[in-house]
Structure 1
Amino acid sequence: MQPFHLTQAAPHGQMHAAPQNAVLQVRNLTKVYGNARTGVQATALKGLNLTVERGDFVSIMGPSGSGKSTLLNLLAGLDTASSGEIWVQGQNMASMRQNDLALFRRRNLGFVFQDFNLLDTLTLGENIALPLSLDGKKNQEIRPAVLKVMSFLGINEYLNRYPYEVSGGQQQRAAVARAVVHNPSLLLADEPTGNLDSASSRALLELFQRLNQTIGTTILMVTHDPLSASYSRRVVSIKDGQVHSELQRSADQQAFFQQILNLLAQLEGSHGVA
C-alpha cells in the first residue's frame, strides 16, 4: 500500500472472477439469523446481488428492517453470510482465513461511522496515522501522507488537537481522513451524517463528492436521508432483503433528490409525494 497520493489505489491482487472494473461484487448474498433455543429464524438478506464499479458513489437506502445495515456489516467483515459471495478487488472474502481477512480489510477498506470512533487519547494526526502505523509504515512515510490528506480535507491546522478539542464536523473529517489515508479500494460509510448538524452534514457530503470526483474514491454509503443520497451518483434501494430498484443520477441534484423522494414513497407503499 502506498501513502495518500490523491489518486485511486491500485488493485490488490488479481481480478479472477469479478468484472474487470468491479471493486465490489456481491453474489446471491443471504443472511439468516436464528435463535437456537426457540428455533425461530429471520432472514435479513435473500439472495442479494450488487456490483459497484471503480469510481462509483453509491447510496444504499431502504425502510427500517430492509437489510441495508446487515449488508454493510457483511461487507465490512463484521459478520458472516449464511450463503453467497462477496468479492472485493477480485478476492472472495468468504474464502479467506481470519488473519488474512483482517489484513485484507485493513488494506482494502476504509470505514466512516456515525459515531466517528476516534480515540480520545490520540491527537487527530495520530488517529489518522493509525492505518499506516498498523501496516508497518515508517514515520518518514506516515507524516507526509497524514499532512497531505489533512490538508486536502481542510483540517491540517488541527494536527495536534485531540478529538474533544474540535467540533463534531472536524472530528468527522478526521474520521474520513483516517478512512482514506491508505488509499482503500472501497470506502464504506454508515449513516455518516447522523450526528452532525445540517451545515456540517452538507460539508461532509460535499467532501465525499470531492473525494469521488477529484480522486476517484469508490464510495458505498448507507443512509436513510434522501438529501444525503442525492450527493451520490447512484441509489440502490433494498426492500425485504433484496434489491428493489436503482436510480442513476442523470440530472442536477435537485431533480435527483425529487426522484429519490418518489422512490422512497414507493418503498413505503405510498402513491406519491405531496
Structure 2
Amino acid sequence: MQVLEIVHLTKVYQGRRGQVAVQALDGMDLSVARSEFVSIMGPSGSGKTTLLNILAGLDRQTGGECWIDGRELSTMSNEELAVFRRQKLGFVFQDFNLLDTLTLAENVALPLALDGARGARLYERVVSVMADLGLDAVRDKYPYEVSGGQQQRAAVARAVVHEPALLLADEPTGNLDSASAQALLELFRALNRRRQATLLMVTHDPFSASYADRVVFIKDGRVHSELVRNGGREAFFQDILSGLAVLEGARA
C-alpha cells in the first residue's frame, strides 16, 4: 500500500515584474510504500526543498496530485490541512525546535496534547516512546540540560509519538557530530523496522542516505534515477556514490 503518491507534480514560482517565473518541480512522479525508508538526494536547486514544503503542507503545488495516506493535499482547506499535518505527519529537522521552557517529556507530549489527549493515555504513550528511544533517564530534564544527540532523539520521539502516516526528515544530521549522526540514523532504521514507520529523508550526505531502503535522485524538478538497497549498507553506500557521480555528469 502506498502512503505517498505524487503524480505529475509541478510547482511554478511566479517572478516579480520583469523577472522570469521559476519552475521548481516539473511533472514529478514518486511513490513511497508503507513502512518504506526513502532518501531524496539532488543538487542545489533540484527541487528538494520545494518537494518537502509541499509534502509538509507548507506550500501548495501548481499542478498535479500529492496523495498522503489516501488524502490529496490540494483539496483540503487550510484548516483541514492543519489538522491533517498534526495527525498524519511527523517532522524532524536540523534544528531540534524543542521548547526550552518544557521538559523533554512535555515536548514529546505536545502533538498528543494539541490533539486533545489527556491523562493516562498521554502519559503512557510518551513514556513508551521515550523508553524505546533510550530517553528514560532524561524525561524530566530540560533541553538545555542534555546533549545534542539526546535533544535530537527527543525531537524524533515528538515526531513519532502520535504514530504519523509519514515521517519527514530534512537534513536531520546537519547539526550533529559524526557519532550522534550515526546514532540518529540507526534510530531511524530501528523505527522503520520495529514500528514500521514510513520515512522520507532529504539529505545531501551519501552516508546518511545509505541507511534507507531506496535512494531517489532528483534533478531539475524531476526524478532522475533511483537505487534500491539489495545488500549491506557499505555496498549501498558505494552504489550511492556512483549514482551521485552519474548525476553530476548529467549536470555537465
**Same structural fold, with TM-score higher than 0.5 when normalized by the shorter chain:** yes
Structure 2 Cα separation of the partners of residues 152 and 110 of structure 1: 17
Letter aligned with residue 157 of structure 1: A
1:208 maps to which residue? 188
Structure 2 Cα separation of the partners of residues 64 and 149 of structure 1: 35
Mapping 1:35-50, distance limit 5 Å: 35-50=15-30
Whether 1:249 and 2:229 are equivalent positions in the alignment is: yes
Structure 1 Cα separation of the partners of residues 34 and 80 of structure 2: 23
Whether 1:238 and 2:218 are equivalent positions in the alignment is: yes
1:15 maps to which residue? none
Aligned-pair CA distance for 1:34: 1.7
Mapping 1:94-243, distance limit 5 Å: 94-243=74-223
Aligned-pair CA distance for 1:36: 2.7
Structure 2 Cα separation of the partners of residues 38 and 108 of structure 1: 40
Letter aligned with residue 191 of structure 1: E
Letter aligned with residue 255 of structure 1: A
TM-score between both structures, scaled by the size of structure 2: 0.98
Letter aligned with residue 41 of structure 1: A
1:30 maps to which residue? 10
Aligned-pair CA distance for 1:39: 3.8
Paired residue secondary structure (1:269): helix
Whether 1:266 and 2:241 are equivalent positions in the alignment is: no
Letter aligned with residue 120 of structure 2: Q
Paired residue secondary structure (1:74): helix
Report the identity percentage. Answer: 63
Structure 1 Cα separation of the partners of residues 170 and 18 of structure 2: 31
Structure 1 Cα separation of the partners of residues 18 and 33 of structure 2: 41
Structure 2 Cα separation of the partners of residues 29 and 97 of structure 1: 19
Q: Which runs of 5+ in 1 are unaligned?
A: 1-20
1:90 maps to which residue? 70
1:59 maps to which residue? 39
Aligned-pair CA distance for 1:269: 1.3
Structure 2 Cα separation of the partners of residues 240 and 43 of structure 1: 8
Aligned-pair CA distance for 1:138: 1.2
Q: Which runs of 5+ in 2 are unaligned?
A: none
Aligned-pair CA distance for 1:37: 2.2
Paired residue secondary structure (1:128): helix
Aligned-pair CA distance for 1:96: 0.6
Structure 2 Cα separation of the partners of residues 47 and 139 of structure 1: 46
Give the number of the structure whose residues are more often helix, by fraction. Answer: 2
Q: What is the count of residue pairs matched by the alignment?
A: 251
Aligned-pair CA distance for 1:35: 2.0
